[in-house]
Structure 1
């Protein structure tokens, strides 16, 4: 298999970003498809309560496993910046440092998750009938945390070098294998919801092995020497700040989801099942917006390293326009086709659950343009090297989601649940928007102080 590492510092920004985004989008969609399949198989073969059990544990999975995704993306930013600057020595040192940090994160998540899984579910007042399945699902998921961390980190490093296609190939293989194993473990072996978590772990392990083999055979720039494991002064701090900031950002967001889940649990198992089903549909719908954000992180980081400042501003603006258009289209599709998609998980046996899920989807989909702006601007700021602002945005998201759970669910019931996510997006967008326009002014000042060639490039890009 040939790798496709490339610089994102040349060519029309929108064209380059879209080309880099497409494999990310396909990969995100495949990832959502196998989560979609997990939920459909569990809901149809095991029952609505089993689906609710997976949903009840979802916010805790997001809290710890989501940390691995955020941290991996953050650890890839210094790698992308060094690659954009053409400093291969610094790039390899950041890869090595990121690997060491990843090991520490994986060990901590496994220990915390497996020891506290049941206690956390009890603290969230998970309905008693869901406890056994939710605990089993959580523990297997946390045992597999090192596998998840390894796959996310390897994929982030490969993407940092401008190759979004190779991680896609491995992710597709993982998704197809996962679907087959879920049906086998649940349908044939009767392993229940634990079988779904086990299938995901085995599928991801296959992709981890494939990534390591590819790097050994086809990616010499990522083959690390002994000297690469000793970072220069300041490099460890840079990797730690970037990785831990984005990891904590994801976990802070997840704490808000846990508070909301606590409120949902108080509404009963039907409400829990409705959110579990609607979230699967919602995650598939927003995958294009998330993919634009992921692509922008690498694009901005590489161009910041190469000091191509005009490209950053133009690229963010062009992607913003495209993301808003896609968000409006997605909202319309959800409005018309959301209910049939929810019925894939539940069937016709629980009409009230379907009704609640449709309400959740319609309210969220109507406000997708806000989410599009959040994905674009937050990832652009992260790519520029800012770690504090995205973390602050995470705390704002936590505050707004928790406020909805504590203040709205009581008087409004399930409508308060449906409003929680859009309110959280608005809260997070406030500091991110302020930070982006501050960065934009800074970039303009740096451009004016730079060589005339950069000014010429800015004019050419603005009319591209």
Structure 2
């Protein structure tokens, strides 16, 4: 048995949490560099309308794939519980169930994405000048979703076993490939947004192959044997019990973002361009904070499996304090250098940069609230409860944002881009407060049960 899988249940927590989280942060940053490279190359070579076209697809793509990425979370939690409690045969069956589930999920997304991309973009009121480019980008992007799902499911398994470095190494290689393919397809072949979508798809295939290769070469319960792939009903049920609510939560979360994106689209392509560039910059801060949520989930999962309840309380405090500091510092730094950062993406429209700065002002300063919310979600899921954070998020994030759009935003004096952005911070704060109260209640219940 690879001894890395026991690190979460033994030894000092602070140093282990930080060392575990840093590779996840770097991995997330590399994933964002895929999209950043797309936007930068397109912005400098094709113009701000192409930037807006790529940016307009982000919320829609997230809506379509988040359900299945949530299921990969279920696979990771199930593996973590099995490793923590020493049920290694359950871990083996979970691994061999998760990979075919990833393939089926990716194939389904490919069909839906290719067939319905333009229809969905029309429903989002995507401007006519950006629609053909956005539709082309999405169709090519969804050709790579099988690879994307294999990478996400495989990474979830590796992280549950304590290996956060392998996904980092593989995305480094894929990110370098993506960058050079962007330059070749856009500058040499003049493919515009289709070129960056193709580059992203090829790089996703590379990272998926490397992840599967690593699982095949492992010598512990997480080892993948291709001939033994089989969907075991008991393991699939457990994966879905945890992962499906997580996926539904992410999808509903994305629905609110799609509706907000539709409202942003109504202000025109210049606002869309500024918003897309600002969103990409925010992504680097978000993925740094969200990495602590993944850490909280896996550390809580293994320690819950090992029934080390007192360590879970320490995990909570370390992750909450760490994510607050990370979000506050990075958010302030991004806001301070916002003009320079946006100018990397947009070179032909001062107005687009101006609107990007408006978004950053309202999102970056309170962004740490989003990090606190995500960590609280990870803590609850690590305890095997996935329906509760889903319900809280639906009420606290989706409910507040949709209520804001359909009530406050419709008032003439509040029908502004600034009004849309304010809804984010309000929803983060309300959801975090509710989730941390629920987590404390569950912990007290678990403590009481263990003392009987």
TM-score, normalised via structure 2 length:
0.93
Give the Cα separation in 2 of the matches to 1:314 and 1:210.
Answer: 35
Q: Which residue does the alignment assign to 1:391?
A: 390
Alpha carbons of structure 1 residues 172 and 3: separation in structure 2 relative to 1, 3 Å: farther
Quote the Cα distance in structure 2 between the aligned partners of 1:124 and 1:101: 30
CA RMSD, 1 decimal: 2.0
3-state SS of paired residue (2:44): helix
Please list every run of 5 or more consecutive structure 2 residues that lacks an aligned counterpart in the other structure: none
Match in the other structure for 1:66: 66
The residue aligned with 1:457 is none
- Give the conservation status (yes or no) of the 8 Å contact 1:3–1:218: no
Query: By how many angstroms is 1:405 displaced?
Result: 3.1
Q: Distance between the aligned counterparts of 1:37 and 1:6, measured in 2? A: 37
Q: 1:267 to 1:385 in 2, by over 3 A?
A: same
Task: Give runs of aligned pairs for residues 9-20 of structure 1, distance below 5 A.
Answer: 9-20=9-20
Where does the alignment leave 5 or more consecutive residues of structure 1 unmatched? 450-464
> Within the alignment, does 1:48 sit opposite 2:48 as a pair?
yes
* In structure 1, distance between residues paired with 2:5 and 2:169: 14
> 2:35 — aligned with what?
35
Secondary structure of 2:9's counterpart equals coil
Q: 2-side partners of 1:228 and 1:131: how far apart? A: 41
Residue in 2 that maps onto 1:421: 424
Question: In structure 1, what is the Cα distance between the partners aligned to 2:253 and 2:313?
Answer: 27
Matches of 1:3 and 1:56, distance apart in 2: 44
Pick one of 433, 442, 447 that aligns with 1:439.
Answer: 442
Residue 358 of structure 2 is matched in structure 1 by: 359
Query: How do 1:99-248 and structure 2 match up within 5 A?
Result: 99-221=99-221, 222-224=223-225, 229=230, 231=232, 234-248=234-248
Change (3 A) 1:186 1:66: farther
Task: Determine the C-alpha separation between the residues in 2 that align with 1:377 and 1:330.
Answer: 20
Distance in 1, Cα, partners of 2:171 & 2:346:
27
Per-residue CA distance 1:390-440 (angstroms, 9 max, x = gap):
211331222222233334445241102322322332343244223212122
TM-score (norm 1): 0.91
Moved more, 429-438 or 182-191: 429-438
TM-superposed CA distance for 1:36, in Å, is 1.4
For residue 87 of structure 2, what is the aligned residue in structure 1? 87
Report Cα offsets for 1:234-264 as digits up to 9, x if no partner: 4332111122222211111111111111111
Q: Which residue of 2 aligns with 1:345?
A: 345
Please list the CA deviations of residues 134-153 of structure 1 after superposition, one character each: whole Å capped at 9, or x if unmatched.
Answer: 10011111221111101111
Q: Distance in 2 between matches of 1:97 and 1:52?
A: 39
- Closer, same or farther: CA 164–416 of 1 in aligned 2, 3 Å: same
Contact 2:380–2:389 at 8 Å: present in 1 too?
yes
**Counterpart in the other structure of 1:295:** 295
CA contact (8 A) 1:292 1:323 kept: yes
Offset of 1:365 from its aligned partner? Answer: 1.5
Q: Please say which of residues 67-76 and 124-133 is displaced more in the overlay.
A: 67-76
Classify the secondary structure of the residue corresponding to 1:286. Answer: helix
